[in-house]
Structure 1
């Protein structure tokens, strides 16, 4: 069975940031049955999969040194820079400017007008 790609402008990833990744894995694994694997492309990031899923749907970012623990959703968009500009036009703020990961994934973190933090991203290009 082929996995269908998420639609643009939908929540298609979530991230939990914690300075206790083992504790988070124990909690969420025990509560929901989630499974965790180390992200081969990013040190300090664990991928989250659901029982029966064929691909990860979220991640745990290892925070340290005063970084804030968090839980947030990320929306798949066609153009991260354009989404940032539109968010600002609508009263939001860019918290982390568009960033390109080594894999080619592009992401940014935003605040809505009420101060809620969320992210937008485009996946890395698919190799030909």
Structure 2
């Protein structure tokens, strides 16, 4: 079974850091039908939450640091961000930002795993995270691209207590008996300049139509729509500012 709700240790939020937030809002609104609301407080720095109906599903914001890449960032739910941050350091990762409070919404950490893939922690207070999962236009899967899968497996199972399963040479991450993501080994097909990273996948009703819409909206299709053996139909896309993300057919989720 796939994860379809917030659980400790599982993905709880996804946010885009981009050099052109206004253009990103236009692109993703066209692609997913999001309704975007920007926090009016100056100290929020233009942070914008995307909704489907009344449910928050993702966020978009400007680049807050000079070295910050244009990218989607995945947050994982934790009960204590400070304790988990210490576990990250002890397990060979590196904390880059925080732990820090975000208004009264929650406590936040940005970290790197031992291979250099960035991820985030979220200790919820008034804001629990995404209000919808695994439905068209919302997050439904997260995938780690790693050059050292054995080390990554040891790190994430230590820090989060994830379970690890395999099918057709594909590593699957799980928590509480439900799968929420996987891991791909970065082989020679990946250019050396591409760093290890987490790739979010959004559910869509029609992968082929979504890929066509992305092209028409000045995005790009990095992996053409493909039906995986005994798996979903997927594609990997890039927005006009070069943030990469995946999509999968919601009807295939199991």
TM-score, structure 1 normalization:
0.81
What is aligned with 1:13?
141
Q: Does 1:118 align with 2:245?
A: yes
Separation of aligned partners in 1, 2:224 and 2:140: 20
Structure with more relative contact order (C-alpha pairs < 8 Å, separation 6 or more): 1
Unaligned residue ranges in structure 1 (runs of 5+): none
Q: Residues 69-93 of structure 1: CA distance to partner in whole angstroms, max 9, x if unpaired?
A: 3311000111001111111222211
SS at match of 1:48: strand
Q: Find 1:105's aligned residue among 215, 221, 232.
A: 232
SS in 2 for 1:56: strand
The CA distance in 1 between the partners of 2:172 and 2:231, in whole Å, is 17
* Preserved CA contact (<8 Å) 1:36 1:47: yes
Deviant stretches of 4+, over 3 Å: 123-126
Partner of residue 172 from structure 2, selected from 35, 41, 47: 47
Q: CA RMSD in A?
A: 2.1
Count how many residue pairs are aligned between Structure 1 and Structure 2.
Answer: 119
Q: CA deviation at 1:32?
A: 1.7
- Unmatched 5+ residue regions in structure 2? 5-132
Matched with 2:223 is 96
Change (3 A) 1:104 1:34: closer
| Superposed displacement of residue 64, structure 1 | 1.5
Pair 1:29-2:144 in alignment: no
Give the equivalent residue in structure 1 for 2:35: none
From the two aligned structures, give the one with the greater strand fraction.
2
User: 1: CA distance between counterparts of 2:198 and 2:158?
Assistant: 18
**CA distance in 2 between partners of 1:102 and 1:117 (Å):** 23
